[in-house]
């Protein structure tokens, strides 16, 4: 993989149905400006039937399913893959561990996996990641957290990791991931001075997320505009890019909360639409879809009608997500599900952000709206 241009976008996606379809539905003109960072999640290892009963999948079933979905959504293009949300027992140093087997399966499909590593990952994880690195020959991604940056021995720890991986910075993509942001991120030049050999890393990315944990604090049956603080904090430093030691690529968590929260049991949720605009998200907050005397799932098409009349709506030709919203606004027979509306929102967000970056960096060939 080569160095990204300044307009390249790295969305962090947890590998669930909505994210899989949203990624697959990107238009080619937008997908060529994107390299996703995929996080596998515990839900990838279970099967849920129509009645909600859960059964555990075998390792072979998970690998074939995850591998197939990765290939269907992204083909042979490089992608970052991180297993840090999974149980450590899946990543022991045996030859038949999950990561190695996934890497082997991906190789047969012609995929290009770039394993994500970190200075806090245990030896088993790093050993297995090294095996995948060797097999795919795409280098690695070093993901540092905000706490990692504060380590007094950061340079020593990074050097030790690179020695273990037997890779130079030129073959490693560096991501500094602040996860949840509300008011500020550190000055980029200060960060650059903390990282050894900042100019040598193949790519340099800053990631963060400002989408709320849930919508419970928002009043039902109302429309809100929530600041895209993750975007504006990065953008405001980019405006003064002539003074930056190295310009980082933008990364975010799309319209999802930056901290992963595993849901157990049947979850209750409202019918809500999440829609990305210039520097804020439109959130159309509905009621619990399982409320017996409420409008239930029919809230979504009604919300779509309102959204399509708003000035922020980008027309049905903008993305597959926008096309879905428009189509649902014109009928009343189908309602969609939480997954389909989340798919539409994520697809629209990735498209919108990719085009924002293209416009900001002066390489736009497609209008943002």
User: According to the model, what pLDDT value does residue 366 have?
Assistant: 45
d(CA 17, CA 338): 11
Helix axes 299-308, 320-329, angle to 10 degrees: 110
Residue 87: per-residue pLDDT:
84
pLDDT at 266: 60
| pLDDT given at position 364 | 45
DSSP alpha helix (H) spans, the chain: 17-24, 28-31, 59-74, 98-109, 123-136, 146-149, 154-165, 188-194, 229-239, 299-308, 320-329, 338-360
In the prediction, which pLDDT does 93 show?
55
- Tell me, what's the pLDDT at 297? 85
Sequence spans of domains, the chain = 9-360
- Name the helix (H) or strand (E) containing 249: strand 249-252
**What architecture is domain 9-360?**
Alpha-Beta Barrel (3.20)
What local confidence, expressed as pLDDT, does residue 304 receive? 97
* Cα three-residue angle 106-108-111, rounded to 5 degrees: 45
Residue 112 phi/psi, 5-degree rounding, is -120, 90
Task: Please report the DSSP string for 124-157 in residue order.
Answer: HHHHHHHHHHHHH-S-EEEEEEHHHHT-TTHHHH
Q: Is 249 exposed, middle or buried (0-12, 13-18, 19+ CB in 10 A)?
A: buried
What is the pLDDT, as a whole number, of residue 94? 61
Map residue 298 onto helix, strand or coil. Answer: helix
* Ranges under pLDDT 70 in the chain: 50-52, 91-95, 241, 264-267, 363-369
What would the DSSP string read from start to end of 26-90? --HHHHTTB--EEE--GGGGEEE-TT--EEEPPHHHHHHHHHHHHHHHHTTSEEEEE-TTS-GGG
For residue 45, the Cα-to-chain-centroid distance in whole angstroms is 19
Distance CA 312, CA 114 (A): 36
- Mapping DSSP to helix (H, G, I), strand (E, B) and coil, where does residue 321 land? helix
Cα(211)–Cα(276) distance, integer angstroms: 11
Q: For residue 291, what pLDDT is reported?
A: 78
DSSP 242: G
* 103-120 confidence digits (pLDDT tens): 999 999 999 999 999 999
SS3 108: helix
Best CA proximity match to 339, nearest among 8, 48, 33: 48
Integer Cα distance of 23 and 110 in angstroms: 18
Provide the 3-class DSSP secondary structure of residue 270.
strand
Pair 148, 174: CB distance under 8 Å: no
Q: What's the confidence (pLDDT) of residue 23?
A: 98
């Amino acid at each position: 993989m080569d160095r990204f241009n300044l307009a390249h976008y790295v969305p962090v996606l947890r590998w669930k149905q909505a994210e899989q379809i949203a990624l697959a539905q990107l238009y080619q003109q937008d997908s060529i400006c994107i390299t996703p960072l995929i996080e596998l999640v515990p839900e990838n290892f279970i099967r849920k039937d129509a009645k909600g009963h859960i059964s555990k999948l075998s390792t072979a079933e998970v690998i074939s399913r995850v591998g197939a979905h990765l290939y269907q959504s992204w083909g042979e293009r490089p992608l970052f893959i991180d297993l840090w949300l999974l149980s450590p027992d899946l990543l022991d140093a045996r030859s038949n561990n999950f990561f190695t087997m996934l890497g082997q399966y991906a190789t047969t499909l012609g995929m290009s996996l770039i394993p994500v590593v970190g200075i806090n990952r245990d030896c088993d994880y790093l050993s297995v990641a090294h095996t995948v690195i060797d097999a795919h020959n795409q280098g690695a991604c070093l993901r540092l957290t905000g706490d990692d940056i504060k380590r007094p021995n950061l340079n020593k720890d990074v050097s030790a990791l690179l020695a273990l991986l037997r890779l130079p910075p030129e073959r490693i993509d560096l991501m500094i991931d602040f996860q949840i942001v509300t008011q500020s991120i550190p000055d980029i030049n200060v960060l650059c001075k903390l990282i050894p050999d900042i100019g040598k890393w193949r790519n340099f990315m800053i990631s963060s997320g400002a989408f709320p944990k849930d919508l419970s604090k928002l009043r039902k049956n109302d429309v809100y505009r929530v600041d895209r603080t993750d975007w504006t904090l990065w953008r405001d430093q980019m405006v003064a890019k002539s003074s930056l030691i190295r310009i980082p690529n933008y990364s975010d968590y799309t319209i999802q909360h930056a901290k992963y929260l595993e849901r157990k049991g049947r979850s209750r949720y409202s019918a809500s639409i999440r829609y990305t605009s210039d520097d804020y998200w439109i959130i159309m907050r509905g009621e619990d879809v399982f409320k017996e005397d409420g409008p239930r799932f029919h809230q979504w098409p009604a919300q779509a009608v309102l959204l399509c009349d708003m000035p922020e709506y980008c027309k049905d030709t903008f993305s597959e997500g926008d096309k879905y919203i428009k189509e649902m606004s014109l009928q009343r027979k189908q309602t969609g599900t939480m997954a389909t509306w989340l798919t539409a929102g994520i697809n629209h967000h990735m498209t919108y952000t990719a085009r924002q970056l293209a416009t900001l960096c002066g390489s736009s060939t497609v209008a943002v709206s």
